[in-house]
Structure formats: structure tokens, C-alpha cells
Amino acid sequence: MTTTTAIRVRGLRKAYAGVTAVDGLDLDVAHGEVFALLGPNGAGKTTTVEILEGYRRRDVGEVSVLGADPARPDAGWRARIGIVLQSSGGHDELSVGELVHHFAGYYPDARDPDEVIASVGLDEKRGTRARHLSGGQRRRLDVALGILGNPALLFLDEPTTGFDPEARREFWALISSLADGGTTIILTTHYLDEAEHLADRVGVITAGRVVALDTPDRLGGRDQDRAVVRWIDDGRPHTEHTSEPTALIARLAQRLGGEVPGLTVSRPTLEDVYLRLIGEPATPTTSIETLEPAP
């Protein structure tokens, strides 16, 4: 464990009734990093995260989270961890203000409850009972409770499931602000655009192992994949795979007199790469950019 590492995992293994869930997993997460852990259902994500949170014991391996073994947590370590589960409930008859002030009493060094309420955008809802909050507002309340203890490390499990697009964007802004403040964040999500928007790095786990680890734009060699250029010439469609799409388009524009009919350039999306890594077929259409005709 170094001073720059918030999480260090080596050779992590966990099995249930002889069925391996996590199989020799290695992982490092830096302090202040937003790290997204992706993988299909049953890949071992939940088990891995629960071990890191100290809620499940491992069979084999070395695990250090904020300098301590989560299998032997103390109250001080717990106070430095924030957890926002995929779903939450209870305390529906209490108001936002009552809930946040109540839970502040559980932490030795809690943040100011009123400042936390303001930071998650619930100032105008502090007197509203939890059961009257919208889905996005309830999620903000969950985050308020998760960051109330001023955690150094925040776990977010499928944080925007069920959100409408506007609520998701607002939540992304909130998470980005926490990251800018130095909070280390572990994100599990099935939304690939969410991982691409929020994460500094992405790890893909399948069959209990990390099979790829990199920044979203470089994951699985994404930045090296060839672009697909499509255009229409003399009434017929043409397609070419190339690592130099700009040069190809310049040649086409010169040959065709400036305008390249039906010109599109497509590149692999993060979803394309993710599906390839977990062994699932990608859809034929990738991230397509329609280009304006050349002058």
C-alpha cells in the first residue's frame, strides 16, 4: 500500500458452495480517482465490492482499503467509508433535514448536515418527507447520507438506475463535484455512457477476473481501432476501414470536387469494446459522425 493508493488487491478469490465468484483478481485504485467497475451479471462485481466494503469475507488474497484490511474493520475505518446502495428505503416519514441531522450523530467527524443538504441540491426540500421525494431527489438524499461522514472513499452501486435523462445529468454533476473535492469513488454501473462520462479509469470484470483496465478512451485498444468511412460514389455505397480517416476524406473530397455524398465516419464506442471484452457480439452500428461536405 503506497500513499497514492486507496485500494490494493492481489490474488483475491471467493467461492460459494464450490462455485468460483472471484478468481485471482488484482486491482489498484489511486486516491482521488473515479474508478468504474463494469461486467455482466454474475461476473463477480458485487462480491468484489462487498469484500472491499468489509461486508463479505474473502477466501484467499491480500486486500488493503485506505490502509486497512476490510475483513477486520474498526469504527474509525468505517467512518471513512461511504456507501450508496442500488436501492434504499425506510425512514419515509422523516424529512430530509431530520434524516440528515439524525444520521450525523453516528459519525465522529460528520460534515455539517445543513452544508451536506445544500451540496446535494436539496435545500428547498429539507422539510419534505422522504416518501414525497422524486426518484432523483431520493438518490440525492442517499448520496447526502453516504457523504455525511466525510468519507475518503465512496462506493456507488448502480446510482442512476431508473433516472430520467435530466436527473442522470444532474447526478453526474454532483458526483463530478465530489471527485473534484478529492473523494475516491468506486462506481458500478450498467450504463456505459455513465462510466465514460465519470470515470478516470474503467475495469472490466468477467468470470471473476479483470480482463481489461484503462481509461475509457483507451480501454481494450479502443484508441487504436480503425475507423470505418462510408460514402456514396456514382450512386453506389463504398466502405473503407482505415487508421487515417482524415487523409482518406481529404483524398475523396479532392477527387469528388469538395463534396463527399453520404459521408460518415464511425468509431468503436465504449459499449462495442465492452461487449467484445466480455465475449458478446456488438451491434453493427457504432458511434457514427455525419460530416459536413468539404468546402
Residues spanned by the domain of 134: 31-44+68-220
How long is the chain? 295
Residue finishing a domain among 187, 220, 253? 220
* Segment 51-58 long-range contacts (CB within 8 Å, at least 24 positions apart): 51/12, 51/14, 51/22, 52/7, 52/9, 52/155, 52/186, 53/81, 53/83, 53/155, 54/78, 54/81, 56/14, 58/12, 58/13, 58/14, 58/22
Residue that finishes a domain, picked among 164, 198, 220: 220
The domain boundary, picked from 171, 192, 220, lies at 220
On whether residue 63 sits in a domain, the answer given is: no
Q: pLDDT tens digits for 37-54?
A: 999 989 999 999 999 999
CATH number at residue 191: 3.40.50.300
> Are residues 196 and 256 both part of a single domain?
no
CA atoms within 13 A on the CB side of 286: 21
Question: What is the pTM assigned to this prediction?
Answer: 0.80
In a domain, residue 18? The reply is no
- Residue 28 pairs with which residues in a beta bridge? 8
pLDDT at position 135 over 90: no
Check if the beta carbon of residue 8 is closer than 8 Å to that of residue 31. no
* 13: in domain: no
Is 7 a domain residue?
no
The predicted structure's pLDDT at residue 290: 41
Read off the pLDDT band of 287 (50, 70, 90).
very low
256 and 149 in one domain? no
Same-domain status, 168 and 273: no
Q: What are the pLDDT digits (tens) for 4-43?
A: 799 999 999 999 998 999 999 999 999 999 999 999 989 9
Q: Is there a domain that residue 250 lies in? A: yes
Measure the CA–CA gap between 50 and 57, rounded to whole angstroms. Answer: 8
> Which tens digit of pLDDT belongs to each residue from 78-128?
989 999 887 666 688 999 999 999 999 988 889 899 999 988 889 999 999
- Grid cell of 107 as nine digits: 459519525
